[in-house]
């Protein structure tokens, strides 16, 4: 398992307690952590946990030594930040929650679809997010499917039950929120369109 996890960490994957509990427990062992840290250190990487401890990932030790790789990571994340923020806000509105999606939380496609269909404003928001990701779907069902698939691609959620279209938020979501805090401090977050102005209780 050590070799498998080492390659996953090198590939930038997050070892999440909800998605891969066995692998997560392996790294929770002090002995295995020390072994992994010793293996990563010579290549300028360290084993790090997300703020709430839901996932492990490899981070650069000396950021000045890898400017190109860091720029690449930020470019990939930045292009998705705005639609992701708006979808997370939409989830709060659809579920009538004041708390943002957290690692381990469940998203049920059919329940979410029904809630969005009941609220015209949410249908418009969903359409705007889908357009941002260049979706040509003209129905709510298709638009929601495209967005959730994109969320899976980012690693922020994963399918826990494909047949019933049930998803679960991964530990990587904690890392994403940490990144949002950084961008909020740097005033780098801008709106998708005027109609997507955040409301009270939104992430931003």
82: confidence class by pLDDT, cuts 50, 70, 90: confident
In a domain, 103, yes or no: yes
Question: Which range among 6-10, 75-79, 98-102 shows the weakest confidence by mean pLDDT?
Answer: 75-79
- Position 89 scores a pLDDT of 94
Looking at the fold, whether 77 and 126 belong to one and the same domain comes out as yes
In a domain, 204, yes or no: no
In a domain, 202, yes or no: no
DSSP letter, residue 47: E
- Position 199 scores a pLDDT of 42
Looking at the fold, whether 44 and 123 belong to one and the same domain comes out as no
How many residues are present in the chain?
204
- Position 186 scores a pLDDT of 61
Across 8-12, 130-134, 179-183, the highest mean pLDDT is recorded for 8-12
195: confidence class by pLDDT, cuts 50, 70, 90: very low
Looking at the fold, whether 129 and 160 belong to one and the same domain comes out as yes
How high is the mean pLDDT of the chain? 86
Looking at the fold, whether 57 and 125 belong to one and the same domain comes out as no
Domain count, the chain: 2
Q: 192 lies in which domain range?
A: 67-196
Looking at the fold, whether 88 and 165 belong to one and the same domain comes out as yes
In a domain, 157, yes or no: yes
- Position 196 scores a pLDDT of 41
What is the C-alpha to C-alpha distance for residues 169 and 17, in angstroms, rounded to an integer? Answer: 11
Looking at the fold, whether 77 and 143 belong to one and the same domain comes out as yes
Query: Is pLDDT of 187 > 60?
Result: no
Mean pLDDT over 19-40 rounds to 96
Query: Is pLDDT of 26 > 70?
Result: yes
Query: Is pLDDT of 163 > 50?
Result: yes
The 3 state secondary structure assigned to 91-134 is: HHHHHCCCCCCCCCCEEEHHHHHHHHHCCHHHHHHHHHHHHHCC
- Position 135 scores a pLDDT of 86
66: confidence class by pLDDT, cuts 50, 70, 90: low
- Position 99 scores a pLDDT of 87
Contact 89, 202 (CB under 8 A): yes
Looking at the fold, whether 50 and 100 belong to one and the same domain comes out as no
Contact 90, 126 (CB under 8 A): yes
Looking at the fold, whether 59 and 89 belong to one and the same domain comes out as no
Using DSSP bridges, classify how beta strands 166-169 and 55-60 pair: parallel, antiparallel or unpaired: unpaired
In a domain, 34, yes or no: yes
67: confidence class by pLDDT, cuts 50, 70, 90: low
In a domain, 180, yes or no: yes
The phi, psi pair for 97, rounded to 5°, reads -115, 150
Q: 165-182, pLDDT tens digit by residue?
A: 999 999 999 999 988 887
């Amino acid at each position: 398992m050590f070799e498998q996890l080492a390659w996953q960490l090198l590939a930038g994957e997050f070892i999440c307690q909800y998605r891969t509990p066995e692998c997560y427990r392996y790294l929770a062992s002090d002995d295995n952590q020390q072994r992994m840290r010793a293996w990563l250190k010579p290549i300028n990487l360290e084993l790090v946990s997300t703020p709430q401890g839901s996932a492990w990932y490899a981070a650069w030790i000396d950021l000045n030594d890898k400017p190109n790789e860091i720029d690449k990571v930020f470019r990939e994340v930045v292009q998705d930040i705005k639609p992701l923020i708006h979808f997370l806000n939409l989830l709060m509105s659809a579920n009538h929650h004041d708390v943002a999606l957290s690692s381990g939380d469940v998203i049920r496609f059919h329940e979410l679809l029904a809630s969005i269909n009941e609220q015209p404003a949410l249908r418009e928001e969903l359409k705007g997010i889908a357009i941002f990701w260049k979706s040509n779907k003209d129905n709510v069902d298709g638009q929601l499917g495209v967005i959730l698939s994109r969320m899976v691609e980012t690693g922020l959620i994963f399918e826990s039950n494909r047949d019933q279209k049930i998803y679960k938020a991964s530990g990587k979501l904690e890392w994403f929120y940490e990144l949002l805090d950084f961008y909020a401090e740097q005033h780098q977050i801008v709106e998708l369109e005027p109609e997507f102005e955040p409301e009270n209780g939104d992430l931003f």
